[in-house]
Amino acid sequence: MDSIIRVQGGKPLQGDITVRGAKNFVPKAMVASLLGTTPSKLRNVPLIRDVDVVSGLLGLHGVQINFDQGAGVLDLDPSNVETAHVAEVQAMAGSSRIPILLCGPLLHRLGEAFIPDLGGCNIGGRPIDMHLNALRSFGAIVDKQEGGIHITAPQGLRGTKINLPYPSVGATEQTLLTAVMAEGITELTGAAIEPEIMDLINVLQKMGANLSVDTDRTIRIEGVKELKGFTHTALPDRIEAASWASAALATRGDIYVRGAHQPDMTTFLNTFRKVGGEFEIDDAGIRFFHPGGELQSIVLETNVHPGFMTDWQQPLVVALTQATGLSIVHETVYENRLGFTKALNQMGAQIQIYRECLGGTPCRFGQRNFYHSAVISGPTPLHGAEIWVPDLRGGFSYLIAALGAEGESIVHGIDVIARGYEHFLTKLGRLGANVERA
């Protein structure tokens, strides 16, 4: 069913809101709990759809889950893990990208895994070749079936050497979750080192895993026979925090984001300051605000950590429509994450997208016909429009645009935003936004 809101824009967002645990960490820690022989406790868990989806999937495999939503505490008991019915797993096809990470833990616990076809945002092809190559390298056999893949490991899983051709977050997590209980030593080179991955490493270490991270994107893991449960507080969601920061800038507002954590956001904060936004950091969070006057155009390239996250790009682009001059954005992580700019143009923005690698180093998409660079000419006043949410971050960007625009906007498909933004309509209300369900 289409979920629609009506937004009266042109009013600065002001007030304070709280961000809880990271969408791109919490579901992975939930998957890690499958590896334990005793229960795990995860704190700071947000009420977002990805948590529901993974709870459902773990539940189908016999994990007992109790979620105290108010307190944000999730208890996971994997004592009675069992093989799920394939039909029930198939029914979850298309709901998320997390199910692929169940491969290693299910192989260790049950000797087989059936993984439904993946979902997630349509921001590029999003292949899983690196995941499957890693699993095969551990000794797994992958069989493509109707509605998903069936994976077995008749000879068991053995430590291996894996070199990722690109520091993929998911393929790194796949390798970690499989290697911790594989027999012998695994050496992963070219690994992703995002803070969410480091927090997954924290969790695995608490469970009894042996792992070390070197300075050169190499992670070494020595498999153990048994892991126990963990108690852990999830790191805060730095994507949600940056999204609210961009909303403050684009609406000339002032938002205190409780829970925003400076060390994971250094690159964002630096960029935010270059554009002309200001912030104040204290122990509990970060206040982001528009200090008045003009915003400055910038040249920006998205990249893996510690670069500027691709997930920060879409919300910030809306703020860049209000900056004076030409901004250049080069998206190097996903080949198709600039399509959302079309609707911004409909609202009065002037954004041109290009196939060339603009403004920085050539990336792997340059020769391949993908529109992955943007030139944003500003400042352009935005006006209300009827728009359809294209994906999670693009959807939040449209909310920002509608809130910054003069007049009324109708935004369709806002349920997608609930996949990664907890209580976003309530938070908008707290910030004084004029938003109602249509």
Catalytic residue among 103, 121, 357, 363: 121
Contact between 94 and ligand EPU per CB under 6 A: no
**Segment interacting with ligand EPU, rule: CB under 6 A, options 39-47, 108-116, 166-174, 323-331:** 166-174
Binding mask 387-426 for ligand EPU (x = CB under 6 A): -----xx--------------------------x------
Q: For ligand EPU, which residue of 34, 162, 169, 338 counts as binding (CB under 6 A)?
A: 169
Nearer to ligand EPU, 134 or 295 (CB): 134
Q: Which of residues 45-74 bind ligand EPU (CB under 6 A)?
A: none
Nearest-CA neighbor of 20 among 200, 258, 314, 197? 258
CB of 176 to ligand EPU, least distance (A): 12
Give the HSE-up count for residue 294: Cα atoms under 13 Å, Cβ half-sphere: 9
Q: Which of residues 346-385 bind ligand EPU (CB under 6 A)?
A: none
Give the H or E element holding residue 206: helix 195-207
Query: Distance between terminal CA atoms of the chain?
Result: 13
Binding mask 273-312 for ligand EPU (x = CB under 6 A): ------------------------------------xxx-
Give the H or E element holding residue 426: helix 424-430
Q: Which of residues 332-351 bind ligand EPU (CB under 6 A)?
A: 333-334
Q: What is the DSSP letter of 213?
A: E
Nearest-CA neighbor of 78 among 127, 120, 46, 37? 37
Q: 10 Å Cβ neighbour count for 278?
A: 15
Binding mask 114-153 for ligand EPU (x = CB under 6 A): -------x--xxxxxxxx----------------------
Annotated active-site residue 121? The verdict is yes
**Segment interacting with ligand EPU, rule: CB under 6 A, options 67-75, 103-111, 169-177, 429-437:** 169-177
Amino acid at 170: G
Token couple for 350 = 């002037």
CA gyration radius for the chain?
A: 22
Nearest-CA neighbor of 63 among 52, 49, 79? 79
Nearest-CA neighbor of 339 among 301, 391, 375, 297? 391
CB of 377 to ligand EPU, least distance (A): 26
Q: Which residue is nearest to ligand EPU (CB)?
A: 170
Nearer to ligand EPU, 202 or 350 (CB): 202
**Segment interacting with ligand EPU, rule: CB under 6 A, options 139-147, 162-170, 227-235, 245-253:** 162-170
CB of 125 to ligand EPU, least distance (A): 6
CB of 396 to ligand EPU, least distance (A): 9
CB of 97 to ligand EPU, least distance (A): 5
Proportion of the chain in helix, strand, coil states, percent, rounded to 5? 35, 25, 40
Q: Which of residues 188-207 bind ligand EPU (CB under 6 A)?
A: 192, 194
Nearer to ligand EPU, 208 or 394 (CB): 394
Nearer to ligand EPU, 76 or 363 (CB): 363
CB of 293 to ligand EPU, least distance (A): 32
Nearer to ligand EPU, 179 or 405 (CB): 179
- Sign of the C-alpha dihedral, residues 417, 423, 426, 428? negative
List, as one string, the DSSP characters of 109-158.
HHSEEEEEPP----SS----HHHHHHHHHHT-EEEEETTEEEEE-TT--B
C-alpha distances (whole Å) from 168 to each of 131, 172, 193 are: 9, 6, 9
Nearer to ligand EPU, 85 or 368 (CB): 368
Contact between 263 and ligand EPU per CB under 6 A: no
CB of 271 to ligand EPU, least distance (A): 16
Contact between 24 and ligand EPU per CB under 6 A: yes
List, as one string, the DSSP characters of 164-188.
-SS--HHHHHHHHHHHTTSBSEEEE
Euclidean distance between CA atoms 140 and 131, whole angstroms: 11
Q: Would you name the residues annotated as active-site residues?
A: 121
Residues forming the site for ligand EPU (CB under 6 A): 23-24, 97, 121, 124-131, 166, 168-171, 192, 194, 239, 309-311, 333-334, 392-393, 420
